[in-house]
Amino acid sequence: MSTSAEHNGDDEISAMILSPDPHQPSTKNESHSTPQINCLVLDMQYVKSFTGILKVIEIVLDIVAAICVGMVDVCGTSCLAEEFFQFVCSFTLLLTTALYFIHVFSLLQKIVFIKWPLVDCIFSVIFTLLYIIGSSLMAARAVTVSGKVASAFGFLAFIVYAMSLKHAYTVCKFGCKKQQSQPSPQKV
């Protein structure tokens, strides 16, 4: 049989575990709907959001395109197109994964001096341009099936990154206007 005192003690222990300082128990009733890992908050809303799903699709397409271009045996006259496309896939995979984890673990709320909507917009522009150039070069130079498949996945990645760019631009446009209209807090 459990008493209300035991439940209250369990809540206090849970609050101490989730508290940033375990020696000072939290007095407020905290919601446990968001999982926390050592002060990192897992943002499940971002994972389920349109932007989060787009990032996962981008990561998957980056991986598949990189694998396909890695399987190219014959380059034709020059391997420059394949090497550039491999760079595009690897570069976008690395940075898109980093941005995804920054959003998922709510690190953007801890690093407040960076305008994250602007960062997302700039990276989306760069990635979109890299993929259209890399995919076009790959399609023009591909002589094997894996090269042609890699360019097809590159064009799919271009489309998804273009969708991400449109969304990031919209967020940046309205987010930056909102930040400019609000007065910045003065430190005393």
Give the pLDDT confidence of 112-163 residue by residue, as tens digits. 888 888 899 999 999 999 999 999 999 998 888 888 999 999 999 999 999 9
Is-contact 92 131, C-beta < 8 A? yes
Residue with tokens 């300082």: 21
- Write down the pLDDT at residue 188: 45
Instruction: List C-alpha distances in Å: 116 to 95, 106, 134, 165.
Output: 14, 11, 26, 14
Of 66, 19, 62, 61, the closest CA to residue 38 belongs to 19
Entry pTM: 0.71
Q: Quick: pLDDT tens for 8-59.
A: 444 544 444 444 444 444 444 444 455 555 677 888 999 999 999 999 999 9
User: Residue 77's closest CA among 135, 133, 141, 136?
Assistant: 141
